[in-house]
């Protein structure tokens, strides 16, 4: 990567130690003559990152999700520094960020271009998701009846608490909690996982990258809530199908050189076993 000459900081001031860490990294960048700007407000307004070389997000994965759409649209790499809990997306620890920051400013980091979902409500709004799109009842409780088509072919209909449509990146988020599969982020697929379906035969389905999914709300008299990355909420009535597909844009996510997805998964999910322990 090219050296970073302009760097935007997004800081979640509610996270313990985030403000102090930001001061340290801002000071280091300023000493190198890097042009800077900071905000503690997210999701970011559109155009906030236009013309900037990179964005350093200090917080948890939720903070990064509040930056993802703007960063993807502007193609600005996100350097995620974890001050949250799990931190699947904010892959730099505070110590790693401090130790490696001079090298990061020199452009010494990798960039993984993560697939995103495009979600469009017919005759309504559309947006992008890095992790997932959740469809459930407008009130958030009770069963919803959803019918799913893939490239015009009926997949099935669901009576459930909701449906999660996940990217590979988001497979370790709500999808995993709902019993869905862990998917390597390089796999260009969409996972569909029902939440508490009223049949034992309904399981996750993995769709190829070119699929166009259309979801119809068949719940009489009830609108559905479409929650995108836990950040944006849209609503759809029974006559407004929801289209979900892999987006044309991708999120550039900065990573340490030698980054290992499975090492992160082992650490974050506390996987263990005899073979891993022997190594």
The whole-angstrom separation of Cα 52 and Cα 218 is: 45
Tell me how far apart the alpha carbons of residues 271 and 77 are, in angstroms, rounded to a whole number: 29
pLDDT digits (tens, 9 = 90+) for 96-127: 999 999 999 999 999 999 999 999 999 888 99
Q: What is the mean pLDDT of the chain?
A: 93
Domain 6-109+256-278 maps to which CATH number in 3.90.550.10, 3.40.50.10330, 1.10.1040.10, 3.40.640.10?
3.40.50.10330
Residue 67 is predicted with a pLDDT of 98
Determine the Cα–Cα distance for residues 252 and 145; give it in Å rounded to an integer.
Answer: 36
Report pLDDT digits (tens) over 32-47: 999 999 999 999 999 9
Instruction: Give mean pLDDT, residues 56-74.
Output: 97
Judge contact between 169 and 114, C-beta under 8 A. Answer: yes
**Residue 278: pLDDT above 60?**
no
Environment class of 169 (CB within 10 Å of its CB; exposed 0-12, middle 13-18, buried 19+)? buried
**pLDDT higher than 60, residue 274:** no
H-state helical runs in 119-165: none
User: Per the residue annotation, which of 61, 132, 161, 229 is the catalytic one?
Assistant: 61
Q: Is the peptide bond before 272 cis (omega within 30 degrees of 0)?
A: no
Give the confidence band of 159 by pLDDT, cuts at 50, 70, 90.
very high
What are the residue boundaries of the structural domains of the chain, listed by start?
A: 6-109+256-278, 116-248
User: Does the active-site annotation cover 61?
Assistant: yes
Strands 78-82 and 54-59: parallel
Does 116-248 match 6-109+256-278 at the fold level?
no
* pLDDT beyond 90 at 242: yes
Q: Quote the pTM value.
A: 0.93
pLDDT digits (tens, 9 = 90+) for 117-156: 999 999 888 999 999 999 999 886 789 999 999 999 999 9
Fold assignment, 116-248: Tumour Suppressor Smad4 (2.60.200)
pLDDT at residue number 31:
97
pLDDT higher than 80, residue 25: yes
CA 185/CA 111 separation, integer angstroms:
13
- What was the pLDDT predicted at 258? 80
Three-point CA angle 179, 181, 187, nearest 5°: 155
Q: How far from 221 is each of 138, 144, 162, 239, 247, CA to CA, in Å? A: 11, 11, 16, 11, 31
């Amino acid at each position: 990567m090219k050296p970073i000459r302009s760097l935007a900081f997004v800081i979640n001031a509610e996270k313990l130690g985030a403000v102090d860490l930001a001061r340290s990294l801002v000071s280091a960048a300023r000493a190198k003559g890097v042009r800077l700007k900071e905000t503690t407000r997210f999701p970011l307004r559109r155009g906030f990152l236009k013309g900037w070389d990179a964005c350093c997000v200090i917080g948890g994965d939720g903070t990064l999700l509040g930056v993802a759409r703007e960063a993807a649209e502007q193609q600005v790499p996100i350097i995620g520094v974890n001050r949250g809990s799990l931190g699947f997306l904010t892959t730099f620890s505070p110590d790693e960020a401090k130790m490696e920051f001079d090298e990061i400013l020199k452009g010494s980091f990798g960039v993984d271009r993560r697939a995103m979902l495009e979600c469009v409500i017919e005759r309504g709004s559309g947006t992008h998701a890095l992790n997932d799109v959740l469809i459930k009842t407008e009130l958030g409780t009770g069963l919803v009846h959803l019918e799913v088509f893939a490239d015009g072919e009926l997949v099935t209909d669901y009576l459930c608490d909701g449906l999660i449509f996940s990217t590979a990146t988001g497979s370790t988020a709500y999808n995993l909690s709902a019993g869905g599969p862990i998917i390597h982020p390089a796999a260009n697929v969409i996972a569909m996982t029902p939440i508490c379906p009223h049949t034992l035969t309904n399981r996750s389905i993995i769709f190829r990258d070119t699929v166009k999914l259309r979801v119809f709300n068949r719940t009489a008299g009830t609108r559905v809530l479409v929650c995108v990355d836990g950040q944006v909420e849209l609503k759809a009535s029974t006559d407004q199908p929801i289209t979900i597909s892999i987006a044309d844009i991708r999120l550039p996510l900065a990573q340490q050189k030698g980054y290992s997805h499975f090492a992160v998964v082992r650490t974050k999910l506390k996987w263990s076993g005899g073979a891993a322990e022997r190594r």
